[in-house]
Structure 1
């Protein structure tokens, strides 16, 4: 086990930054100098250790030691007697026992410090961190031997030097190099170069000479295999300030940490040899650059100049993060908060490395505070207006060892408000979501492909060269098993047959009165976008439900959009469906950015006339946004919310069937809505359904999602079928399942639902995949006014009329009279001149 060298500092010494690139610091603590050591631990570069030099351990001594630990000191060096006095107050792993010879304490201690070279065993125990104090007269060769055998020498700093030629003291390089090993014939050491945030900059090689020169000059110096010593940045200006040198656990790789200046580490002017930085490191670099050269009027410059604005944005984003609920919301709001918080740090010269040092220091604390929020924040929360009371079931959590069962309420004994609460959907903060989605949509609208690629890299975490796959699609993209191919082909044909039956191929003509013939005929929408979500489940079935009706309707251009995987590839089943329907292309993007690309078009993505398909709240918000933008000229199918099912079951229903239907929706996501209306069932009969839910849920791979969904799902016991259907129509579910006697006879009672599944043998899954009906359905109560996707979704209907002479005689006067009422004489005249020429004009007109 290899640990860094510790130069030995006395309390009078200050940390020598030149020595600290290799070593750590150990200070003597005499009971009076805690504050100076704390300052070194907080603000010095190396880690800080303490050698306990007190005559007696008192309560004040222990308090001081705790203070040292809480302010970043790594370990206390103590004698066995001192260690025994403080061991019950201090974590044993944070005590290094100072011993003269190997003794029983070595069997239990995690770190030991031998008082002299003479006391050393032949080899350090690899399970114990072993230090050794160096006498001032010790030969350098003896110290090097100790290092090679795994011991960490403690050497007074006044005996150390960064010089390595003709040195009057110990060259500090001589305590690092003996531990290094290499199997290279040229004797060079593999070297990994990192910045202060541990971002890898590149792989180089070092020699004893380059390591020595690097320590001496405090810069990045390496050994070029062709050109000798390489002083990084000497010609390019991309210089490096040396921060630290260390070895890995096997001593066969040197780690060099530097502060990189200039364009970057790589000769290609990128931050690293593996491309540019990402995430917080990239943001920090950008903010540092903007601080010095951001143009006046830019937002970042305004933030740096306006302290009040910057502080207000930090508070605003912190509040929005606290209010966020979903994974997407939380990650989005956290990113915003990090941006503004880091802007404030950069403004005051605080780096990510400084922040990380504080995190590391806090991790070393041994005293823990209670952690309550400050009173002003608690008071602020109490001062907020009380929210309407939620049902007690809203707070329930189902743990990994708890039974998985639905909440239950009896409509006969519960209040109307309690029943209503069970049928409420979660509140969607549309204004908040729109504020997040609008910048994304605008960015794609303005920047096209460039924005689409950037946003895909940001949200889907994959770098693409092109945002689109054009047909024909390569065979390698749709490699699926024969069983899956057969399943898709069967589903495809059933969906096609059902939607073909809906297709109005003939012109409908009606003679509304003698000589007046009114017609209506369908025409396909030319360019349609089919959005296929990714997220927690891959949904090739959605690609079937959207594209097959589009094919039946006769749409000329069918555009798919679906987020790529981490490898940049699409689900092969989706590509296969795109191939079957003759899709023009597939947009490799998800979320609001995919919707925007199809709505406005980009250099690569064709503009669509209408966008169909489900998605999360960001997709829904983007669809609503573009449909309300007259410049987009783009329609959508319907708004959408989380998936939902309502099951009406009576005492004759099979509990296993009912449970399976409830769980088929619960596994969609934690925000899915699952409701059971139990008609005239006893508590024991409902118990059997609960037991079936529990047993089946435990066998599902997505059981963790099911637990969270079922925790806020409810069984409502009602007395009559009429009451159940009244409640269902009021709720207007996406999926309505009827597990009741003579189910088909009750279908006429259904007024509001996306799709109905009738009888014990009609699970919702069949409609989701293969029966032929469409599974893209209205949710969140929109079934009151919207239909699910169907053939007509991809068509517009045009009317025409033929008015004969007889027809003009039939309606001409009515037209003229109404036009006169509205004061539209041009309308009246268009009929009048015709009737006049035909001799049909009555007197007075």
Structure 2
């Protein structure tokens, strides 16, 4: 923990920087030329009103190792909810503390308050408002430093004082400056009669021993960077002064009670202990012991020994690392994994030792990676993916979805991975339920410039993005097509396709028309009638993807319920073809559903145009439809922007199916259902839950998956999605249904004996397909149900798109005079109970009028 935090600037001299870096984090302004800080120091970046807002630059600062950024309140709307709260602090003036909303307060880890006076009562009240957050305070009066008693009082109240570097000195404390060691020691409180502070000395996260510090020894340590302690017998003890086993002190921390210290050091010489051992607690174990052994062998291993060969022969060492990594990947039991991991760590640390890399260096690298806000996709390089694709059994949950296409051996089997639910732990079962994680903050940061540009630049900006991302440069100044749309040229739409669309339209409209609810009217007590009635959302935007497949079915599934609900304006957004035209299938559906306009744009730019409107694109009230990560992130962004005043249908993720199959299943049917979902994209989620299926049946399903996939046009996609998919073995129908309800799939297919009777047990699913002759394809196209469904487990909370999705429900009440006589006294009593006199008066004034 910190006692105080220095605020550095471009004029801060190097000696002062070195000293303050030993006692905790520092605050540095966002300078064009960053300060040269020691590698181990934790830094907060101060972004004040003089700094121009640039979210990408802020993310980059965090990725480069900044612990936190301190932002002005004016920026909070742009950052809170985008960046992790623990990486953000709020810069406040005394006058705008009260302007902080609950959302902003909960979206930051602390505040830095600039105040002309260090008023303890005011700061205490702010601390109560920001309960649980770090409270830092900076006096705007920089001519004189605060007294030690003020620093002590602030720190004891849980507030950390920020001291500008101009008020700090390495010399004696004066009326103009305070010695940094005096400022650090001032709030410390010893509970010992001799006034000393117990001090734990550590190196590389392990304890070396317990010593004692005094104010004098602490001061000397801060100023010199050397380990200095207080011997209870001999006074100041400068570690290594006689033995040569000196210490460089990297950091000094205080505990939560301000009465004990921790020194993190680099120990030189024989060791810390007077017995010439590294630690007072005995010999080293684990990685530190291995590191010390390897360092010793690097300098003393005899020629011809195995360890010397490893140090001298880089090709041998490389081969051993690769060999042990492969054996670790093949290990399955807990004991095997531990054994093989130990071998791999030995050879990896040998390479590190040969390169002069210590465990501390590795830990620092891990700490840097942990601070990154924008994560790497986590993809394996192509040469390491082939073997993984052919493995039919794994001991880990499905890997994160790759962002880029992998190179996979076309001759390797297209197989899923198998797990036995009865042999998995609770934590392993939880991993099986996980979906690929979308880094929402990173994606929103990427789409934000696109959304902002369309919002401010209108059609011009939109057309620029259509050219850049959709590959269309011939829209002649307008991205919008207005109804009535031109007739399709002869032959543009095949007769059988037109007929199929017509049948699908009729079925889907029939089912959705049946969902229209009559108005509800209830007399809750005599003379009091309450009603609820539906009204269509006036303007809706329907996003129809056009990436790896043309999706007229999505236009049907979104356009029909909008039409049935009575939406006045239906805008279909879909990427144009290079010549600026729209696919004839989508154009035909647009006419059927009564669309008022077609927006020829895709991606985040289309979502932005629908949310805010442009010179030609009408603004909508709600946006529907699936899409890729860019579309999903843009939808999430605009629905959280109060200026957009737009809602969305539901959170979206990769398409998914879960099939439950027992011994009555047809392996070919099951495989076909799995593949029909796996072809959507490389990130599609495909799960087979078997109910007491013999291994021979599972093998038959796997063989069908492989053979059917090879005969299908999108086999390259399935080569990537299927190896990430899983087979989960269960021993009973109850276990299988329980897993499915926890997974909450978008599509659930039941290949079961008496499948209709099982539907009653389904609690969480987007849509259920009952029996061997109900493939998901029917629901995707033409049975009548909607195929726009919740993914990523959101079937626990969300329904699929339906007629009510395009409506809002309004309530009304009508109270007669007699009704008010019965209801009025009840209302007035409750209003009085809540102290709302005007509410009660609105009742009583009417009751009095009726009695006169």
Q: TM-score range by the shorter chain?
A: 0.5 to 0.7
Contact preservation (8 Å) 1:734, 1:778 = yes
Among candidates 475, 484, 493, match of residue 472 of structure 1: 484
How far off its partner does 1:381 sit? 5.6
For the residues of structure 2 that align with 1:486 and 1:518, how far apart are their CA atoms? Answer: 46
The match for 2:504 is 491
**Alpha-carbon contact 1:477-1:572 (below 8 Å) kept:** no
Q: Residue in 1 aligned with 2:821? A: 809
Corresponding position of 1:394: 399
- SS class of match (1:412): helix
Kindly tell me: are residues 378 and 701 of structure 1, through their superposed partners in 2, closer, same or farther at Cα, counting changes over 3 Å? farther
Aligned partner of 2:532 in structure 1 is: 520
CA deviations on 1:300-329 (whole Å, 9 max, x unpaired) are 9x9xxxxxx899789979xxxxxxxxxxxx
Q: Is the 8 A contact 1:449 1:467 kept in 2?
A: yes
2:678 to 666, 672, 677: 666
Distance of 1:393 and 1:519 partners within structure 2: 50
* 1:39-58 alignment, distance < 5 Å: none
**Residue aligned with 1:798, SS:** strand
Q: Equivalences for 1:522-671 in 2 at 5 Å?
A: 522-671=534-683
Given candidates 721, 744, 758, the residue that maps to 1:732 is 744
Name the counterpart of 1:835.
Answer: 847
> Aligned pair in 2 of structure 1 residues 570, 298: CA closer, same or farther (>3 Å)?
farther
Contact kept? 1:534, 1:563, Cα under 8 Å: yes
* Residues 310 and 561 of structure 1: CA distance in aligned 2, closer, same or farther (over 3 Å): closer
Q: Which residue of 2 aligns with 1:777?
A: 789
* Aligned partner (choices 449, 453, 468) of residue 443 of structure 1: 453
Runs of 4+ in 1 over 4 A off after TM superposition: 297-300, 309-317, 372-390, 395-398
Q: 1:469 & 1:418 partners in 2: Cα distance?
A: 52
> For residue 501 of structure 1, what is the aligned residue in structure 2?
514
Q: Distance in 2 between matches of 1:545 and 1:391?
A: 37
Moved more, 831-840 or 683-692: 831-840
- Alpha carbons 2:508, 2:785 under 8 Å: kept: yes
**Per-residue deviation, 1:395:** 8.9
- Residue in 2 that maps onto 1:458: 468
SS in 2 for 1:816: helix
The aligned counterpart of 2:799 is 787
Matched residue of 1:402: which SS? coil
Relative to 1, partners in 2 of residues 1:381 and 1:696: Cα closer, same or farther, differing over 3 Å? farther
Q: Which residue of 1 aligns with 2:423?
A: 413
Contact residue 765 and residue 796 of structure 2 kept, 8 A: yes
Residue of structure 1 aligned with 2:438, choices 414, 428, 445? 428
For the pair shown, the structure with the greater C-alpha radius of gyration is: 1
Residue 392 of structure 1 deviates from its aligned partner by: 6.5
- SS at structure 2 position matched to 1:442: helix
* Change in CA separation of 1:593 and 1:805 when aligned onto 2, cut-off 3 Å: same
CA shift for structure 1 position 416: 2.4
Q: Distance in 2 between matches of 1:568 and 1:627?
A: 29
2:692 matched residue in structure 1 = 680
Tell me: CA distance 1:833–1:564, structure 2 relative to 1, closer, same or farther (3 Å). same
Contact 1:394/1:711 (CA < 8 Å) preserved in 2? no
Q: Is the contact between residue 437 and residue 621 of structure 1 (CA under 8 Å) also seen in structure 2?
A: yes
| Distance (Å, rounded) in 2 between the aligned partners of 1:400 and 1:567 | 35
Please provide the CA RMSD for this pair.
3.2
State the partner residue of 2:128: none
Distance in 2 (CA, whole Å) between partners of 1:503 and 1:785 is 22
Distance, in Å, in 2 between the alignment partners of 1:385 and 1:703 is 37
Alignment of 1:13-32 (within 5 A): none
Distance 1:753 1:400 in 2: 34
1:800-844 CA-partner distances (Å, limit 9, x unpaired): 11112232122211111111122111111111111222239xxxx
Equivalents in 1 of 2:63, 2:821: separation in Å?
A: 73
Gaps of 5+ in 2: 1-49, 66-317, 319-350, 379-393
| Native 8 Å contact 2:397 2:431 kept in 1 | no
Task: Give the drift of 1:620.
Answer: 1.3
Q: Report the Cα distance in structure 2 between the residues aligned to 1:713 and 1:448, rounded to whole angstroms.
A: 42
Q: 1:403: Cα distance to partner?
A: 1.0
Q: Does the CA-based 8 Å contact 1:526-1:556 persist in structure 2?
A: yes
Q: Does the residue aligned with 1:528 lie in a helix, a strand or coil? A: strand
Q: CA deviation at 1:399?
A: 2.7
Following superposition of structure 1 onto structure 2, how do residues 228-377 of structure 1 map, counting pairs within 5 Å? none
Paired residue total: 485
Rate the CA distance shift 1:395–1:450 in 2: closer, same or farther, 3 A: closer
1:99-138 to 2 correspondence within 5 Å?
A: none
Residues 390 and 459 of structure 1: is their aligned pair in 2 closer, same or farther, counting only changes over 3 Å? Answer: farther
Q: Counterparts of 1:410 and 1:523 in 2: how far apart (Å)?
A: 50
CA separation of 1:490 and 1:683: change in aligned 2, threshold 3 A: same
Contact 2:400–2:436 (CA<8 Å) still a contact in 1? no
Q: Distance in 2 between matches of 1:719 and 1:565?
A: 51
Which range is displaced more, 397-406 or 665-674? 397-406
Match of 2:732 among 720, 729, 735: 720
The 3 A distance-change label for structure 1 pair 400 and 313 is farther
Residue 797 of structure 1 aligns to a residue whose secondary structure is strand
SS at match of 1:826: helix
Q: Distance in 1 between matches of 2:851 and 2:58?
A: 80
Q: CA deviation digits over 1:326-378, x for unaligned, max 9?
A: xxxxxxxxxxxxxxxxxxxxxxxxxxxxxxxxxxxxxxxxxxxx9x9999998
C-alpha separation in 2, matches of 1:751 and 1:671: 25
- CA spacing shift, 1:591–1:725, aligned 2, 3 Å: same
Unpaired segments ≥5 residues, structure 1:
1-296, 303-308, 318-369, 841-845
Three-state SS of the structure 1 residue aligned to 2:851 is coil
- Mapped to 2, the partners of 1:786 and 1:312 lie a distance apart of 36
Alignment of 1:31-42 (within 5 A): none
Deviation at 1:566, TM superposition (A): 2.4
Question: Cα distance 1:456–1:650, how it changes in 2: closer, same or farther (>3 A)?
Answer: same
Q: How does 1:5-20 map to 2 (within 5 A)?
A: none
SS at match of 1:711: helix
The structural deviation recorded for 1:617 is 1.6
**How far has the Cα of 1:581 moved from its partner?**
1.7
Alpha carbons 2:415, 2:705 under 8 Å: kept: yes
* 3-state SS of 1:772 partner: coil
Question: How far apart, CA to CA, are the structure 1 residues paired with 2:849 and 2:436?
Answer: 66
| Cα distance, 1:513 vs structure 2 | 1.5
Contact 1:739 1:758 in 2 (8 A): yes
C-alpha separation between the residues in 2 aligned to 1:590 and 1:529? Answer: 12
Preserved contact between residue 560 and residue 583 of structure 1 (Cα < 8 Å):
yes
Shift of 1:417: 2.2
Deviation at 1:568, TM superposition (A): 2.2
| In structure 1, C-alpha distance between the alignment counterparts of 2:815 and 2:578, rounded to whole Å | 62
Q: Give the deviation of 1:544 after TM superposition.
A: 0.3
SS at match of 2:826: helix
Q: Check whether the contact 1:649–1:679 (CA below 8 A) recurs between aligned residues.
A: yes
CA pair 831-599 structure 1, distance change in 2 beyond 3 A: same
Equivalent residues of 1:609, 1:635 under 8 A apart? yes
Contact 2:397–2:432 (CA<8 Å) still a contact in 1? no
Shift of 1:741: 0.8
Instruction: Find the aligned partners of 1:808 and 1:315 in 2 and give their Cα distance.
Output: 64
Change (3 A) 1:629 1:688: same
Task: Report the secondary structure of 1:432's partner residue.
Answer: helix
Question: Does the aligned pair in 1 maintain the 2:533–2:809 contact within 8 Å?
Answer: yes
User: 1:613, CA displacement in angstroms?
Assistant: 0.7
